Structure 1
Amino acid sequence: MRGRKANTVQSEKYKKGYVPGVYDLFHIGHLNLIRRAKEQSEYLLAGVLTDQLVAHFKGKSPYIPFEERIAIVAAIKEVDEVVKVDFSNTVKMDAWKLYHYDAYFSGDDHGHEWEEEKKALQQVGSDIVFLPYTQSTSSTMIKKKMQEGQKKQRLYLFGAGKIGQRMGKELETAPRGRNWEAAGFLDNSPEKHLTRILGLPVYKPEELKTLEGQGDFSILITMKETHEPRKQLRQLGIGEDKIIDAL
């Protein structure tokens, strides 16, 4: 079994395989990785990274806490044993000294990064085997969709006078969880341009075109007279569906 070439499916199984991962937001791609590793292993050991280790490598904690992630992985029938991966055993050779695995399984996106580690493991008779990722689903794709769903719509207040400032203060104290946020004021008064009111920038209405690329937005008219602001916005190509009257 030892010393076989990585990246190939073995006709004879490895005695012990090791497949570590974060396994955050567990999905079919994770399951396929574990299943493919088990297909090549008589005994499969799965490692789950701690929250601290994930934060160290990725700069942020996983969505699902460690205790829940390791419980999910432990419940998978293809997994014979599950272990915690922390700073003491995250290095592949350190893990090998603890578990003496014959094959280290990983997704194929690391194929060109681990040449030195592959050579070190081969010296002790262990392989690194790269398995194909499931293209249809990944944690990155799921997180991206979640973040897109959490994006707030920007709201510009047309009119930086008393009414607009009152509305701005009300927006500041509105309950959390709303799907919009105040992004700035629009005002035709030259003296207010390039200033900040309530911490929000004041723009000329004409600047909306340059702001459109920053995402979806709506405009709240915070003036008693709305006819002229609406007319001006229409001339700028802003549709009625984006315009809201505050009064």
Structure 2
Amino acid sequence: MSPSRPMYEVGYTSGVFDMFHVGHLNLLRRARNYCHHLVVGVASDEYTDQLKDRPSVVPCDERFEIIAALGIVDEVVIDRSEDKSLAWQQRRFDAIFKGNDWQGTPKGYRLERSMGELGVDVVYFPYTRHTSSTMLREYLAESDDR
């Protein structure tokens, strides 16, 4: 651990984790390095439908299993809302980890405000731009058209 990097007791990150890829793994690895106990929220199917305006490719119970099988994850919970204070009420944490694509955006400001009221730090990590579930979906759709 670097002396300039804070070490949190319990850290939290969440996502849909549909079509698990290296961007997801990068986020989880970085989060693991910042806390003693890493809790990961996997978006419910209902929340995913609302969030993405389309269903996930992989159902929630399977996405949950994939995340739970990773040795870098200590605990997995179902995430049901964009309001992370609800996740905090379900499972208390000291820091929440997000990709820096949230930083400086309205949803990032809302997250910082709500987490700040609970005494939770928001820590941003570099977003893996070259791989995303959206890009994978687009590639697969193009392959179907061929």
Same fold (TM over 0.5): yes
Structure 1 segments unaligned to the other structure (5+ residues) = 1-8, 153-247
Structure 1 residues 25 and 11: alpha-carbon distance in aligned structure 2, compared to 1, 3 A threshold: same
1:83 aligns with 2:83: no
From 44, 47, 52, the equivalent of 2:46 is 52
The residue identity in structure 1 corresponding to 2:118 is: V
Deviations 1:195-242 (A, max 9, x none): xxxxxxxxxxxxxxxxxxxxxxxxxxxxxxxxxxxxxxxxxxxxxxxx
Cα separation, 2, equivalents of 1:58 and 1:10? 36
Residue 109 of structure 1: SS of its match in structure 2? coil
Amino acid across the alignment from 1:81: E
1:20 corresponds, among 11, 14, 17, to 14
Does the CA-based 8 Å contact 1:10-1:40 persist in structure 2?
Answer: no
Q: For residues 109 and 52 of structure 1, do their structure 2 counterparts lie closer, same or farther at Cα, with a shift above 3 Å needed?
A: same
**1:121 aligns to 2:125 (yes or no):** no
For the pair shown, the structure with the greater C-alpha radius of gyration is 1
In structure 2, the partner of 1:110 is 102
Report the AA paired with residue 42 of structure 1.
Answer: H
- Give the TM-score of the pair, scaled to structure 1: 0.54
Could you tell me the TM-score, scaled by structure 2's length?
A: 0.90
Distance in 2 separating the partners of 1:20 and 1:107: 10
Structure 1 residues 147 and 94 mapped into 2: Cα distance closer, same or farther (>3 Å)? same
Please report how far the alpha carbon of residue 10 of structure 1 lies from its aligned counterpart in structure 2 after TM superposition.
5.2
Between stretches 102-111 and 17-26, larger displacement belongs to: 102-111
Question: Deviation per CA, 1:141-190, whole angstroms, max 9, x where unpaired?
Answer: 111110100115xxxxxxxxxxxxxxxxxxxxxxxxxxxxxxxxxxxxxx
Q: Which has the higher contact order (CA 8 A, sep 6+)?
A: 2
Q: Which of 91, 94, 100 is the equivalent residue of 1:99? A: 91
Q: 1:4 corresponds to which residue?
A: none
**Mapping of residues 129-148 of structure 1, within 5 Å:** 129-148=123-142
| Distance verdict in 2 for CA 1:79–1:19, change over 3 Å | same
Unaligned runs of 5+ in 2: none
Cα distance in 2 between the residues matched to 1:58 and 1:134: 19
TM-superposed CA distance for 1:105, in Å, is: 0.8
User: Quick one: which amino acid aligns to residue 54 of structure 1?
Assistant: T
Q: Which runs of 4+ in 1 moved over 4 A?
A: none
Aligned residues: 142
